[in-house]
Chain A
Amino acid sequence: MSIIVRQDKCTGCETCVDSCPFDAIEMRDGRAFINEYCNACTTCLPVCPEGAIIETEPAASDSARKFADYKDVLVFAEQREGRVAPVSLELLGAGRRLADELGSQLLAVLLGADESEAGELVKWGADRVYLCSDPVFGKFNDDTYAGALLRIIEEQKPSIVLAGATPVGRSFIPRVAARLRTGLTADCTSLEIDGETGNLVQIRPAFGGNIMASILCPDYRPQMATVRPRVMKRGQYDAGRTGEIIHTDFKDLNSRTKVVETVKEVSEVSVNLHEADIIVSGGRGAGGEKGFKILRELAEALGGAVGASRAAVDEGWIPYSHQVGQTGKTVNPKIYFACGISGAVQHLVGMQSSDIIIAVNKNPDAPIFNVATYGIVGDMFEIVPMLTAKIKELKGQQ
């Protein structure tokens, strides 16, 4: 598939040039020209007022036939100290839905845990669990994890492989994808099956989290994706559900790296943000530490936690541990206050699953209002202290 400009139709108006996210359109002899940076994303097609930009040879939809051997959905189920990590259950929820849609099986790989934990994965939706209880997997080393997962993938030939975008998944899954010569899409926020081709449509924030991109891996298998914790919903827990647990052994796997010590250091802020029912966040509009002081007062009045956008953290007004968004934490509280936050995609993907979103911003066109349940166009330095005072008053009466 490629994108071309019909030279007979192009009027040289240059409208398309700015629309290209890859800088792939340039003007040559007064006409638009698509250069080698084109990713064939088709963003420019509807932009041209003359309809002069067209797509040639539409993508062949023969991948279903070509990859007849690759059927199932496989989830890498991460454990922490022998217990299945919450992100694994979320991946099983997403994986179950995809497997049902494909009419295939949901497989899980569990390294360094015992049979009862493997049984939990079945109850959360897995049909077959590949379990390796070898204590070598108790510590995370990229070589052993990548080696074990590679062998199971090569044997089982899944069509889709999902893993958590955690420090563990983000570290060793790329090695597996590199070795398998296949695509890997990081931090997906949505995963769907394309009804026509059967390909996995992977949606993730792109360009610094300023816009969303949908990404395909049409010519290679498996299609691999990572998903951040708290992005997907868990499936149904069924205590009576049965499945197969297959004990596997990888005696000959060696690791070049060695973990000599594991030190626990849990930031109180992280815990608070993940468990809070109410989060009060500030962005560039908070203007500085003073702005965060009034946000903290509101959070205290509500018994909530304080969050921040990347802009505020980059400015140094508040530590990184408070950052909510694609490169910070993903949260889903009951109420999320976004104060002085414009609402870049980078921030939205970290908080848009909150039950209620209250946005306070001076700019009525700020994208944050697109995801808000309640929108207030106004000055947070006026609105927030007034709200804090009234809430304190209310709580005093109760």
Chain B
Amino acid sequence: MQTLVDHKVDYDDYELHLINTKKFKTNTIALKFSRPIEREDITKRALIPFVLQKGAAKYPTERDLRLELDELYGAKFSITSSKKGENHIITFTLDLANEKFIEGEDELLQKGISFLHEIANNPKLDGDQFDSNIVEKEKETLENKINSIIDEKMQYANMRLIDEMCKGEKFGIRSHGYLEDLDEIDAQVLYEAYQKMITEDQLDIYIVGDLEEEHAKSILESKFQINRNPNVSIRRVEPKEPSEENDITEAQKIQQGKLHLGYRTGITYQDEQYPALQVFNGIFGGFPHSKLFLNVREKHSLAYYAASRFESHKGLLFVFSGIAPEKYDQAKDIIMEQHEAIKKGEVSDEELEQTKKTIIHSLKETIDRPRGIINWYYQQVIGGKEMTNQEMVEAIQSVTKEQVVAVSKRVQLDTVYFLTAEDGGAEHE
């Protein structure tokens, strides 16, 4: 395996990460704006990506903006927002063909960086606020998006589990925002939130591709100049101890029940036990060969799906399953039995080895994609710990069964959320 290097350059107001690799025919540039998540900011921050993609001072309509991307040899561009631990991140990403492969073109990277600068720094304004037509229209888009979550039952159940489990914690804030905030947001208020983001957020810039580093660095220095005065940094929290087990049941008109469980692991990215947590999750429910899939789905045919996933910055782990509404008790028992089995050391050598191989396979797949590389490194910024891909692989390989068992004992159930049918599944009995 080749070792990737994140060559960092520290500026006063942002950090540049240059990752030089011959893997790709493209250069990918990402801007990541982050700040600790707060209830009063969140809906505004969720709305900003929608508005910025509808036009900029230089490209007043969405079509103008898209035509400019065509001009950049069909560059691919998006702005997204997400939650990492107790931080909210707004990401601008641009994928450009590498100019090396285009005859007569040697300024594409420069043009791409200028484009990002325009979109981020010179939005379409009406006086000293955003264009109100765009803001009103995009408020509707966000409203539709929030309203449609309830149609995606798995996503809905996941959101409700976190609502209940993390009440009163910043992690419980919904990253897509809240309907009740929308009325108070106008072009003025939103522009202020945007200005706060652009000047005060922590900013990390990534460039991944077959690069000449000095050249890339000098383009960025000359073309990407924003007057910034960052005053926030990544928020890292001490993992919380689990409370008494909390059981929540809600009913809707649905066929398939969703049984989602929330655990506290007490283990975050920086922790020495983090690699063992990854292996624990893989044995428990991370893959099609995991205990949850084999027992809940294959052996007892109880669920259409049953899997687990861990969160790296807050110390949480979730189990998701889709079950017939009347099978709640049986499914919950079998899920808990799988956890107990690992605590008792019922992990075969084959399970352990296959799980490690699969984790390493997915890490390697991740770093074969430009966005995968960026997200993998950015996780280190959020997590506050640096390591190479080689070190990560070695850490996974050296995990022992005893370490997995030790992790399984730290992992504790906190909240059980069940979304069931209104008739409680009576007619299916």
Q: Do A and B bind each other?
A: no
- Interface, chain B (partner A; CB < 8 A): none
- Interface, chain A (partner B; CB < 8 A): none
